[in-house]
Amino acid sequence: MSIRDKLISGPLCFGSAPLGNMFRNIPEGEAAATVDAAWQQGIRYFDTAPLYGAGLSEMRLGRAWAGRWPNTSATSTCSVPRSAG
């Protein structure tokens, strides 16, 4: 049974703030294994931002995705704060 069978239908998003050590230091191997587990469960929508570890989450996602392209596709979103001026 996959995670999708247990949750409501619709796209699931992997929030990658923890990969940027936002809540605690995540070792490289654990970060890679976490992204791999999400990928194996069918997650193809990943949220990231430059503020997540000063780009660390983006670098870790890139390394975890290496070798999966171009045979598969995924979506990555990034939200960047903008100044009022």
| Res 8: pLDDT | 60
CA distance 27 to 31: 6
Per-residue pLDDT band at 82 (split at 50, 70, 90): low
Q: CB 40: neighbour CB atoms within 10 A? A: 10
pTM higher than 0.75 for the full model?
no
Q: Which residue of the set 52, 60, 61, 64 is catalytic?
A: 52
* Beta bridge mates, 47: 15, 77
The tens digit of pLDDT for each residue in 26-81 reads 999 999 999 999 988 888 888 888 888 998 998 999 898 887 766 666 666 666 66
Query: Is-catalytic flag, 52?
Result: yes
